[in-house]
Structure 1
Amino acid sequence: MFTKVLIADDIDFNDLGASQILNELDVHEIQYAKYCDEALLKVKKANLDGAPFQLLISDLSFKEDHQLNKLNSGEELIAAVKKECPNIKIIVFSIEDRAHRIKLLFDGLHIDGYVLKGRNTIYELKRAIQKAYNEEQDNISPELLYLLQDMTTTEINNYDVQLIKYLSKGISQENMETVFKEEGISPNSKSSIEKHINKLKIYFKANNTVHLVSIAKDLGII
């Protein structure tokens, strides 16, 4: 079983539930972080000390307060942690139940498990930790499995999401090629980008790119 685990969550009650499970599983060292930046700092320090964390359990939403942070979401934290510690196992522990967001966590950030906070939280979290340790597949709360069968979820990939995100930031279709090349995103040719945007507009029945971004926000894609 894991011996060193980090819990990133800004609510004490959730920390207590997760720590209860880890204690039952005889995890020797458990650390906590209420901010994403704090969590990343703990990961970096553990690496420098030669005693890296083996598992990160993270929420997705962190409420803003007086403290300024560079990382403000679970997705940003997970991406940063993966760069620092590629072999760490990651379980998301959240109330988020939108299929697109969950699928992108598995496909884009390669998380090792997803637990929906709810009535069966304790049992499901314990099961997810054991599955992550044993490197088992389909490590997700049972009530969410049907969401991932949604046709829209399976047909929208990470590239499409990046494209819509940049459109939502005001990057025009004409300037997208330059931005994608700078960011190392491919395909990045003008024709490929136009083709993907047209595909998305047809798929979502959007009248224009503004309408496309609005639909994507409503569906929780971005």
Structure 2
Amino acid sequence: MFKKVLIVEDQEVANLGITQTLEGLSISRFEFVTYCDEALQRLKKAAAEKEPYDLLIADLSFEKDHIRQNLKNGQELIREAKKLQPELKVVVFSVEKRAKVIDDLYKIYGIDGFVSKARNDGKELRNTIGKVFEGEIVMSREILNAIRNVPFALNAYDLKLLELLAQGSRQNEIQAYLKDHQMQPHSIRSIEKRLNELRDSFGAKNNVEMIVICKDIGLI
């Protein structure tokens, strides 16, 4: 089992649950920090002393206070931690529900497991840590099914259309933006056509419903 664990979490209640989970796995050497910058410094210090952590458990979002932080969220911490220690195992423990965001954690940031903060999350966290230790990449069936519904074929042009639409831009304003940024096609007719195609792809009745769907799955 893992010998040395670093937990990055700013909620005391969550920390109590994590403590119970780790003790149940007979992991006795673990440390808590509440800031991502401090976590990275501890990772660097441990690596320099040839006593690296072998598991990082991290939340994604942290409450802001008067202490200025260079690393703004868990994603930035994970990115820097992996640069420092590529073999480090990472489990994210978060309330995040957006499928695209979670999928990016695996594909872009290289995490090994994701556990949703919810009822019975202690059991899921324990099972996930055990499987990650055995070398598995752990993704729950619920998350996997949600990710399968994300239309990854969307390109930069499509995402910009959706983003502008979500901001309340009208078609003439979208056209002006596309022209200014040399994005093709930018005719009103082409914009209308692509929005119709996107609504069909999402199974949305109108633009409002399409934007709601996109926000739910973390595309915008």
User: TM-score, normalized by length of structure 2?
Assistant: 0.73
For 2:4 and 2:17, the matched residues in 1 are separated by 17
Distance change >3 Å, CA 149–CA 27, structure 1 → 2? same
Distance change >3 Å, CA 88–CA 160, structure 1 → 2? farther
For 1:94 and 1:134, the matched residues in 2 are separated by 22
Aligned to 1:114: 114
The answer for unaligned runs of 5 or more in structure 2 is: 165-176, 200-206
Instruction: For 2:219, give the aligned amino acid.
Output: I
Percent identity of equivalent pairs: 37
Aligned to 2:218: 220
**How large is the Cα RMSD of the aligned pairs?**
3.0
For 1:194 and 1:5, the matched residues in 2 are separated by 49
Instruction: For 2:76, give the aligned amino acid.
Output: E
Aligned to 1:141: 140
CA contact (8 A) 1:124 1:141 kept: no
Moved segments of 4+, more than 4 Å: 172-176, 201-205, 214-219
For 2:198 and 2:71, the matched residues in 1 are separated by 31
Higher gyration radius (CA): 2
CA contact (8 A) 2:99 2:150 kept: no
For 2:180 and 2:5, the matched residues in 1 are separated by 43
For 1:71 and 1:174, the matched residues in 2 are separated by 35
Instruction: For 1:147, give the aligned amino acid.
Output: A
Aligned to 1:47: 47
CA deviations over 1:114-167 (Å, ceiling 9, x no partner): 001111201100011011111123x12343232122142x435xx859x86xx9
Instruction: For 1:100, give the aligned amino acid.
Output: K
For residue 219 of structure 2, give the secondary structure of its aligned residue in structure 1. Answer: coil
Aligned to 1:126: 126
Q: Write out aligned runs for 1:1-222 (5 A).
A: 1-137=1-137, 139-152=138-151, 154-155=152-153, 204=198, 215=211, 219-222=217-220
For 2:8 and 2:179, the matched residues in 1 are separated by 40
Distance change >3 Å, CA 78–CA 143, structure 1 → 2? same
For residue 90 of structure 1, give the secondary structure of its aligned residue in structure 2. Answer: strand
Aligned to 2:174: none
For residue 93 of structure 2, give the secondary structure of its aligned residue in structure 1. Answer: strand
For residue 16 of structure 1, give the secondary structure of its aligned residue in structure 2. Answer: helix
CA contact (8 A) 1:116 1:141 kept: no
CA contact (8 A) 2:115 2:125 kept: yes
For 1:204 and 1:97, the matched residues in 2 are separated by 23
For 2:180 and 2:23, the matched residues in 1 are separated by 52
Alignment length, in residue pairs?
187
CA deviations over 1:57-93 (Å, ceiling 9, x no partner): 1011111111100111111111111111111000010
Distance change >3 Å, CA 23–CA 160, structure 1 → 2? farther
For 1:10 and 1:119, the matched residues in 2 are separated by 19
For 1:37 and 1:160, the matched residues in 2 are separated by 32
For 2:47 and 2:179, the matched residues in 1 are separated by 43
For 2:57 and 2:74, the matched residues in 1 are separated by 10
Distance change >3 Å, CA 115–CA 48, structure 1 → 2? same
Distance change >3 Å, CA 31–CA 194, structure 1 → 2? farther
User: TM-score, normalized by length of structure 1?
Assistant: 0.73
Deviation at 1:15, TM superposition (A): 1.1
